Structures are given as C-alpha cells and as structure tokens.
Structure 1
C-alpha cells in the first residue's frame, strides 16, 4: 500500500499510452498538485512532456497541431465546461483524456458532442485523485472542512470521492468503520459506502478477490478526539520544517530568510527526490545536526578531489561525475540553509522552554506547577504570542474541569500580549464534550497505570514524551481490541471474523499531522505484515490548525464554555 507508487503508475501510464512524440500535459489546479507531488519537472521531461498548461489559463499559443495533448483533470462540472470549450477549437493535434476519478456518462456524451474535429483518441478514468505526500501518507489540502459539527457539502463530496479513488488505486475493498461519537465521521462513512455500492462493477473489475486474507479496514476518525497533537512543537526534521517554515505541496519558501542564495528562495523537500531528506525525515533535531556535519565532511572531501584537474583523465573524471557533484552541492546548500533557519527560529522563539512545558501539560498532572510556569512565560517578552496561545489552549484542554482553573486570567494576560485568537475556541472545538476518548487518561485505569510506568522508567527526551492518541487506537485495531460500540462499521457490516486486519487506511476529518505520520511509520515497522496508510483533510501545523478551529467555530455560539468567566 504505497500511495506515491499508485499515483506514479497512473501518470506513467498516461505518458506512455500516447506513444512517442512531443507532448503537452493539460491540467487543473488540483491535478497540477497531484502530479508535482510525485514527479519532478526533469522526470516529466524525460517522458517527452515539454509543455505544462492549465485548463483555466488564458494563454494564447500559435498553432501546436504537431503536439499531442495529455489531459489530466478532476471530473468537475467546471472542468467539463472548460474541456468542452477546448475541444470545440482544439489547439493540439490529438487529445488523450484522463480523468482522476469516476466520470458520468452524461459528461462523456457532452465531450463527444463537442469533439466535432474528432481530435480525441482516448478517454479513460484513472484514480489518482489525492495528494500522495509520502508512501503511507495522503491529503486533500482542505482546511476548514466543518462548520460546527456539520460538513461543508463541497468538502464532503471531495473527501468521499477522493477516498473512493484511493480504494480503487490501492485495490482494496474495506469494511468502513467510523468514530461513533462524531456526526462528521458518520456522514463521511455513509457517503463513501454509498459510492462504493454505486460503483460496484468498477470495484469488482479493479479489485481482486482476497480469498482468505483478512478484510481491509477504512477507519474514519475526528480531529476533535485528539485536539492536542497539532498544538505541540515538533522535533523531528519533517515535522519541524512544517511547523516553523510550512511545507506546501513539498515546497518550502525561504524567501524571508536573510542572505538566502537566490536559487534557494523556494526549495523542494520530497522524500522520493531527495535521498538525504528521505533518510532523515524522522530524525530528531539533535541527530540532524550530527548528520549535517557528516554530509558536509563528505561533500568537502569530494570537492577537494576535484580541485586539481590537471590531466585529460582528471577532466574526463570530473565531467563524468559533475552531475552527481552538482546535485550533492545543491543538497548540501539546501539542507544547511533549512537546518540553519530552523536552529535560528528555535533559539529566537525560546521554543525549548515552550516545548518542555507543552509536553508536561499533556503528559503529567501538576496544576499549580504548570500554572506558575505558564504565568512566567506569559510575562517573558522573548516568547511570541502565538506560542503562548498554544500553551494556554493546552492548559484549557488539560485542566478544563479542575477546581482551580485559571483560564480567564490567562486569557486576559494573553490579550495584554496582543494575541487576538481566544484559546477558548480550542476548548469549544475539542473539549471533553467533543471527545469520545479519555485523552488524558483520567478515568481509564489501564491508561493511568501505563502513564505511571512511563513516568517511572523515564523518557529519553523531555521534548518527545507525548504520543498521539492514534497510536493507541491503531494498536487496539491491530490486536482486534478496538471496541465495536465506539468504532462501528457503517451499515452494520460484519466485523467479528476473528481475523485481525493487515491492511488499514486511517482518515482524519479535520486534518492529520506529521507526528501522526511518524507514528504510522513506526507501527508499520513494529508489526510485520501490517500495512497502515494515513490520510487527512489536510496535514496540519499549529497555524493551519488554528485556522481549522476558527473556521469550525465561526458564528457558532459558545455552549460548553459559557461558564468560564473573563473571556
């Protein structure tokens, strides 16, 4: 279950089926992102694709009848209308049309009627209708999918269609389970089930019978059940880059970094295209520094060997290794720039102190101590208001029902520091009323014992004590212990076959995080034979998560936090 491989297969198929010759690829905004996530521009050029065009652009080209056009679009009504216009006056010689998902017969008929010059050679459905972020991670890049507890209907349609495409591309027909306490999860599960039933013939043709193997499971979860994970400072390379610099479709902007080389104002960080990045995605910040030093030493050694180019043999050797040398030079410069900026931001924003208190707030219970330290940080001018917002939000979630709760005073202190976003939003969004899990282990005896033993044995790193709720949920599912009353199957599908699932797709309504991606990576390694893929409406850092919360709570009356004064 490799989502990058699945998407790559479809795009490779498109470029090969059109045969040899110069090609243009015509895409929409979404499919442009889908392609760029798995192929670099140089890789696409190797497939004789020399021009990239958007279906919604107004670019006027001269006669390009000598070029073949590969059309790769989402089958939306807007794209059908734009493609119909293109086919009435075709700019290119022939068209090979590929939709990223199921397309209706009525839309095919519309296109056929517009193709008066018979330029279309092929119309096919592919199922590359999601962003493949990593081998086990996918996203739809949707922030703000809910209003209150209800779906934005357009986003519900996008997610259900995208999940159908994912199942078809991975060739899995799962039992669909969802979080019972979440109306949003229930709605999405029903919508996906209806699409699977509607496309039963397509599913039968694409997905082989699995015989005696355990039935795959699609588990739909709600971000509100773990509102804590996206609020935490991250300390592994990939997650740190997203938190402090923001990763957008594998691209990171460094334009505001002082003295950054011109070629590195925007860098690509893609595990499939960058060996160093792939090897160090999950390395913690301390390890990255050491690894960077090794990379620098190796580069300097190779650079010295090229300093003396005296003979023809030396020149020949240099020319032959130059592309590799140039690539390594670019890799070194890129990662030195990124890591240097991460280091500067960690120091400049007092993130070590902030992170230590964050971790203790979510992993330990010490109201008086936590409140005292939080008040001290609120008075520290070196700590940014956005970091303080996260700390107060974590305090609100942890001590929601504590007798000595001082949230009102903390919010007033936060306002005095100039932070406009009220942390009470996080409590209204993901407080105890919104969760079906015992997030802080306050009632569950087994969790209390587990937490106690974790405390006694000590934690190797005070900045990484926290483990996402997803880890416990997945381990329960793998061991056959995930309670059916809390995570039922949609439509009452039969679950108790006695076979533990091997193929698991998890989708988080409200967004996943890179910390949860690391958790899935670790589970895939720890349980041989088990394959887990994680997806979310988006991949959050704390800034996008605040936007998610604001969108969900916009115009929604405070019903669960009215009792908290001074807010």
Structure 2
C-alpha cells in the first residue's frame, strides 16, 4: 500500500522493457507530472533516458532513428490522434507504447493501422494514472470538480479513471462505501463499481483469505467537512502548502526577497529529500530545532572538509564531496523555506489567528468569539484573506444562532474590500450533514459528546492543534468495527463483512488536505494500512476557488439568515 512505489515500479518496467541503449520519453501534460513526482531527472538519466518530449506541444521534425522512444500517455482521444500521426511518420527507430489506463481495443486497432513502418515493439496498459505525493497520499490534480453542487462531466470521467488506476496499481478489488446524502459520492461509487464489474478480468486478483474482509474504498464529500480546509495548519508540509503553495512537489520562491537564483524554485519530494521525508509531519516548533541540528551537523562537516593536509585527506574529500554538496543544498533549501514561513507567521499574526480558528472549530462560545473576530478582522496586520477565513468559520458555526453577527462582520470585511460574496456561497456549499454533525444544530449525539468530553479531559498537544478532522474520527470508527451502515452504505447488495477491513483507500470529492494526510499517517504508524486521495490537495485559497465553482449555478436557498448574508454581501 505505497502509491509512490507502485508508480515507480511501472516506470522502471517501461524502461526495462525498452532494453539497453539511448531512449527518449514521450509524454503528455499529465503523465509528465506523474513521472516527475515519482522519479527525478537524475534518476531517469541513470536509466539511459536522455531526452524528454511532450506529445501535446511543439516538437522538432528531426529524425533520430538511433533512439528508442518510450511513449507514456493517458488514453484520451486527443492523445490517440497525436500518436497516430506520430506513427504515420515515425521520428524514432522503435516505439514502446504504454497507456496510463484502460484503452478500448478499437483504439489499439486504429493505432496498428497507422504503424505501416512496423516500428512499434510494445503496447501495454500501465495503471500509473495519478499523482503520488506521499507514500499514502495521491491526487488527481483536478482543481475544481463540481458545478451546481454536482459533477462536472469531464471531472467525473477523470476521477473514475484515476481511482481505477489506483486500484489496479495496488492490485485491489474493494468493497465500496459512500457518504449517504451526497449525490456526487453516490454517482462516483456507482461508476467505479460498474467499471470494476465491466473489467472483471483486470480485477481477478487473489481474494483475501477466509475470514479476512476485502479492502474498502470509502468515497467522501468535501462538503461534509469544509472546516478542515480553512484552518491554519502547523505541520511542515501543510504549512508550506498554505503559505507558499506546493504544486507537483515544487514551490515557487521567486517572490521571496533575497533568495538566490538557484532557489527561485525548489523541489520538496519525500523520495528525493531525506530531511523533508523525515519532517513532513513535524510541527513548526520541532522543525526549528531540527533545522538548527542540521545546520550544526553541516558546519561540523564543513570544518572537516577544510582539513586537507595529506593524500588520504584529499581522497576522503573527493569521495565525500557529492554527499557534502547534497547536504549543503538541503541545508540552504530548507533554511530559505523555513525562514519565509517564520516571516509570514509573524507578519500575518498567524499564532493569534490560529488560536481563534481552533477555538471556533472546537467549541461554542458565541459572545466571546464574536468579539474576538470583530476585533481581528478590522486590524491591518490581519490580511483580508485571513479575515475572510475567520468570518467563514464563524458563519458556519453560528449560522442559526439567535444573535448571529455575520451581517455585521460582512460589513466590516466590505470596508476592507474583502470578498464578501464568498460567505453566502460557503453556506450554500456546506452540506446538511455537516450542519448537523459538526455543530450539533439539530440533534445531540450522546455517544459522540461523551467521546469528545473524554478527549478533552485527556488534553491536546497545544491550542493550535485542538481540531480533529472528520476523517480521523470516521476511520477510527471503521477500524474499531463500529457500524456506519446508515451514514456510509455499500454500493452493492452484498452482505457486508462485520470485521473491520485491514486496508482502506479513502477518496475525497472536492479535494483532500494535508491535515487529513497527517491523520492517515498517524493511523498508519499504529499498524493500519490506509491511503488517502482526492480530486486535488487543497490549501485555503484553492478550497475557496473550489467553493466558488461548485456553487455556480446552484439554486439559492432563501432561508432568512442566508438571505440576510446574501443581501449584505451584495449591498
């Protein structure tokens, strides 16, 4: 259950099957990202892959018959047309063609007819059709997937393909559950279920031993937990994404004052950077100590390198120089990133912001919290974006409170030219299930209330990490064997296993977050086998774009409180 290793095995197999000799890799936009996140360019060069080209962009017409061409593309109609044109007038000596997902036989036949020179040596399906971020985290890189709170058709098709790719790459035929009340989750579950049955020969994996339940595919909806995507995060990976944005394992630092040219863009990959791999889920305080220790270790090594007095010293220096240079690059890179994070935390008063966010997310104290929100959102040191996040969290928690102050908060945000229209959109976006379960507005779950009380008595690590995402509580319920049939029914009519599954793949429509990835990591550290995926991986800004797109065209619900917010934001 490691998505990075699964992708790497496919890539290595493609290159191995092409045999020895110089090779070119021909990709499309999506498969370029898939490969770059699993292997570095240095890794590919060591495997004799010397050239990289995109089939969907301008290319030279120079013929290079001495090169073997490994084609790795998604089986889209546009890609099939481009590849057909390539085979009609081949540039390379031989072609090894691999599709990242299931391709219809009719398309294979059409390609064969174009291969008049008989230059194609191999055609196979390799189910590397998703972005591997961490060993237990994947994304489909779909920025927005809903419109009018239902699937965009293209996004649905891509999501079905991506999930099928994950299942086939991990050799899993799962049972499927989905969030009851979510039409997108039910539609996706049915489409995946139908595809598995249609392609039953591909899913003819050895079933689990007697008594062992099959793996579970759990399909969730971001609308059931919008709070998690709005909170300030304090683990390293999540902080970088929130404050600097990670895109395909790369962080753009070109706007950071004084950053060296070689660090205008940095790669943060758990596979290629040991320091990053070990500290993905470390909190900000731990990172500060760790980077100090790394710098001290580097300084010690640097002093040793200066002591070159004998032939043996020279030999040792030459042998250790590549490692020394790599260590130097690691220190410089993370020092720049952590310094920028520290600067932004101080500049934006994020410690004070986060304390209030967590307080509102975890407990109801309307009067005191409203006064604190009013105070913070009018202060210039609090960015307009962060002020909006506070108002969104407040509006969702106290939407139905008798003295709800959202209208006044919107007026204050409007005075700062903030995006007031997002508040009514968020209240359209949040599901009825979230209204009931996150904030207990219609009923009190006595069992859940007792568990939360016990958790509160045990205490939390600090005031900035009080919040527990919905996913973690849900996974704990499943792993303890508690019944969730009513809220998360099976898509099929099969009698469900009553023993908890040993392997779980969670997929979140509307995007996952690094807080949820951390929750999965914590459970995996306890011996469970869980993988998390989403249409994308959100920070608060990308999540708000998701909300805007998802609610476009959605029917406006004219409840009294929501109508007041709508009027205030458009006044």
Question: Fold match, TM over 0.5?
Answer: yes
SS at match of 2:159: helix
Bigger drift between 427-436 and 409-418 goes to: 427-436
Structure-2 separation of matches of 1:486 and 1:436: 15
8 Å Cα contact 2:26/2:71 also seen in 1: yes
SS at match of 1:318: helix
- Per-residue deviation at 1:517? 0.2
Match of 1:501 in 2: 501
1:153 correspondence with 2:153:
yes
8 Å Cα contact 2:362/2:467 also seen in 1: yes
- Per-residue deviation at 1:413? 0.6
8 Å Cα contact 1:473/1:482 also seen in 2: no
TM-score after normalising by structure 1? 0.97
8 Å Cα contact 2:271/2:277 also seen in 1: yes
Q: CA, structure 1 residues 423+56, in 2 after alignment: closer, same or farther (shift >3 Å)? A: closer
8 Å Cα contact 2:148/2:555 also seen in 1: no
Structure-1 separation of matches of 2:202 and 2:238: 37
Q: CA, structure 1 residues 421+95, in 2 after alignment: closer, same or farther (shift >3 Å)? A: farther
1:395 correspondence with 2:409:
no
SS at match of 2:13: helix
8 Å Cα contact 1:441/1:447 also seen in 2: no
- Per-residue deviation at 1:434? 5.4
Structure-1 separation of matches of 2:198 and 2:122: 24
1:41 correspondence with 2:41:
yes
Cα deviation digits, residues 112-163 of structure 1 (max 9, x gap): 0110100000000111111111111011011210012210001101001111
- Per-residue deviation at 1:467? 0.8
Match of 1:203 in 2: 203
8 Å Cα contact 1:400/1:431 also seen in 2: no
Bigger drift between 324-333 and 425-434 goes to: 425-434
Match of 1:257 in 2: 256
Aligned residues: 562
8 Å Cα contact 1:34/1:131 also seen in 2: yes
Structure-2 separation of matches of 1:551 and 1:162: 21
Q: CA, structure 1 residues 434+426, in 2 after alignment: closer, same or farther (shift >3 Å)? A: farther
User: Following superposition of structure 1 onto structure 2, how do residues 30-179 of structure 1 map, counting pairs within 5 Å?
Assistant: 30-179=30-179
Cα deviation digits, residues 215-273 of structure 1 (max 9, x gap): 11100000000010000001010000000000000000100000101111100000111
Q: CA, structure 1 residues 430+481, in 2 after alignment: closer, same or farther (shift >3 Å)? A: farther
Match of 1:183 in 2: 183
8 Å Cα contact 2:149/2:429 also seen in 1: no
8 Å Cα contact 1:428/1:558 also seen in 2: no
- Per-residue deviation at 1:485? 1.7
SS at match of 2:271: coil
Structure-2 separation of matches of 1:104 and 1:454: 52
TM-score after normalising by structure 2? 0.96
Structure-2 separation of matches of 1:421 and 1:315: 65
1:20 correspondence with 2:30:
no
Match of 1:404 in 2: 403
Structure-1 separation of matches of 2:364 and 2:122: 63
Point out where structure 2 has 5 or more consecutive residues left out of the alignment: none
- Per-residue deviation at 1:498? 2.6
Match of 1:463 in 2: 464
- Per-residue deviation at 1:202? 1.4
Cα deviation digits, residues 434-486 of structure 1 (max 9, x gap): 53861135521222233333444433311111010001111111122142121
Cα deviation digits, residues 91-123 of structure 1 (max 9, x gap): 000000000001111100110011010000000
SS at match of 1:157: helix
Point out where structure 1 has 5 or more consecutive residues left out of the alignment: none
User: Following superposition of structure 1 onto structure 2, how do residues 99-498 of structure 1 map, counting pairs within 5 Å?
Assistant: 99-204=99-204, 207-212=205-210, 213-425=212-424, 427-431=426-430, 433=432, 435=434, 438-441=437-440, 443-495=444-496, 497-498=497-498
Cα deviation digits, residues 43-102 of structure 1 (max 9, x gap): 011110000000012221422100000000000000000000100110000000000001
Structure-1 separation of matches of 2:506 and 2:132: 14
RMSD: 1.4
Bigger drift between 413-422 and 450-459 goes to: 450-459
Structure-2 separation of matches of 1:546 and 1:427: 8
